[in-house]
Amino acid sequence: MNLINCPECNHEILDRIGTICPSCGHNVTYFEGDKKRKLYGKFFAMSIFFPFISFITIVFTSGNLIALSIASILYLFLATLSCPLRFKDLFFTGYEKLVFWVIWGVSNSFIAAITYNSFSKLL
């Protein structure tokens, strides 16, 4: 069993989810503890936030060819940053890996279709 320092009082406690510090009463959450869980939290946030940012930039720049081109480059950059392949050793189960691949694939397919339609209207 791994021990971590309590974020509130610095008392040593188990890193298991749901552990309550006997000193201050702090409850260990999922994203506290080892580095893998913290990185998992970052990846989860990126997989939600980056497609949203890409969608908003594509929609708002769809009237100007130069701005749409820049937004498309930004979209490709964010899509590669949030690709589950970069975080393949983070997943605990095969189901979890499948869910993130499906979310990534569907959101990026949707954004690519919007980008294609925006470019076809401008050209």
pLDDT one-digit tens code per residue, 89-98:
877 788 888 9
Domain that holds residue 8: 1-33
Q: Is residue 115 classed exposed, middle or buried when 0-12, 13-18 and 19+ CB atoms within 10 A define those classes?
A: buried
pLDDT digits (tens, 9 = 90+) for 27-45: 776 556 556 666 777 888 8
**Of 48, 113, 35, 110, whose CA–CA distance to 82 is shortest?**
48
Report how many domains make up the chain.
2
**Of 81, 9, 92, whose CA–CA distance to 46 is shortest?**
81
Q: What is the pTM of this model?
A: 0.69
Distances (CA, A) of 89 to 6, 40, 92, 95: 26, 10, 8, 14
- 19, 70: one domain: no
- 62, 96: one domain: yes
